[in-house]
Amino acid sequence: MTSGVSPQLQMRLKSSFIGDRFLRSSRNQPLPQLFRFNPGNKHVSMQLSRTLSGLTNLFFNRRNVDEVPNSSRKRLRPGKVSPRRQVPKHIPRPPYVNSMIPAGLVSGPQVHDKKGIECMRASGRLAAQVLQYAGTLVKPGITTDEIDEAVHQMIVDNGAYPSPLGYGSFPKSVCTSVNECICHGIPDSRPLEDGDIINIDVTVYLNGYHGDTSATFYCGSVDDEAKKLVQITKECLDKAISICAPGVEFKTIGKTIHDHADKYRYGVVREFVGHGVGRVFHADPVVLHFRNNESGRMVLNQTFTIEPMLTIGSINPVKWNDDWTVVTADGSLSAQFEHTILITPDGAEIMTQC
């Protein structure tokens, strides 16, 4: 762990980008502390050790063969992961690169001066441009590894570092989460199929600042059920951003998202959160996307992400043996959208847009 990481937050965090190696430091804590925001849940998910999670994954993958109930779609399966891509030596790396331990959550909000805000705008703009480009690549037959290759090249061509690469054990430059994958999908050899949906999560490290964003894209002809989920997830993010301003309680974000999702009977995933972002990848505050009573208010010139993940069915996550990929327990579809925002005197500025 890096110095400055809050011990209390280490125990409770189910971060937007935290793997088993980080959570392993809390293994001796009682189970309810690891499930702070869902204390009655006994489902084996990514908060438990790799061994237990792997057993769950093995059982899950062999149960019900490959079919998703009431659907012609097959369950997602891991493909072959290509070797780690290289970044030119002249491009500055985040401090955590080449460490097998994720950097964790840094205490204190990311609040910026004028120069820092301009740097955040630059990293956010590049992240948005990369994400937009990645979205144009989505079509039946392309592999998620090919998307990763293109994203990687665009980022380094712009003098930036792909933040996920080398964050703990994560082996790729972007997260690609297809269909029932809630988040943290590792790009591999699986070709996208007609009717898939895919979340692409891009974070770039440019001039010492991270810009973090994601969107869910359609692949070919997508059915109405999937389109509706994607649409409402985007609306949840937009509505949450619209209420942000100096002095607003962070818990208002969770209520706004949860209220809108409830109208359509969608589930809101609880184990993964938004977070402060700036000079560090993950910092205070922990941004919950569901109704909660957590304390904390937004501060002028503060930057953080909001990244709701909605599901059609189960909100319970199951982690694969790769320590990262997280899918819905029942194989139901999941969608996510994310922006990095800046708190301004008049509300919030979206930093991750072209």
- The answer on whether 201 is annotated among ligand-binding residues is yes
The radius of gyration computed from the CA coordinates of the chain, to the nearest angstrom, equals: 19
- The answer on whether 275 is annotated among ligand-binding residues is yes
Which of 243, 247, 256, 261 shows the shortest CA–CA distance to 334?
261
- The answer on whether 338 is annotated among ligand-binding residues is yes
- The answer on whether 289 is annotated among ligand-binding residues is no
d(CA 40, CA 18): 22
- The answer on whether 196 is annotated among ligand-binding residues is no
Q: Residue 190 CA to chain centroid, in angstroms?
A: 20
H or E stretch at 312: none
Mutual angle of helices 114-137 and 144-157, in 10-degree steps:
140
Q: Are 183 and 177 in contact (CB under 8 A)?
A: yes
- The answer on whether 112 is annotated among ligand-binding residues is no
Angle, alpha carbons 98-99-103 (nearest 5°): 125
Q: Which residues have CB under 8 Å from 348's CB, separation 6+? A: 241, 242, 244, 245, 341, 342
- The answer on whether 210 is annotated among ligand-binding residues is no
Q: Residue 164 CA to chain centroid, in angstroms?
A: 11
Specify binding-site residues: 184, 201, 212, 275, 282, 307, 338
Specify binding-site residues for a divalent metal cation: 201, 212, 275, 307, 338
Specify binding-site residues for substrate: 184, 282
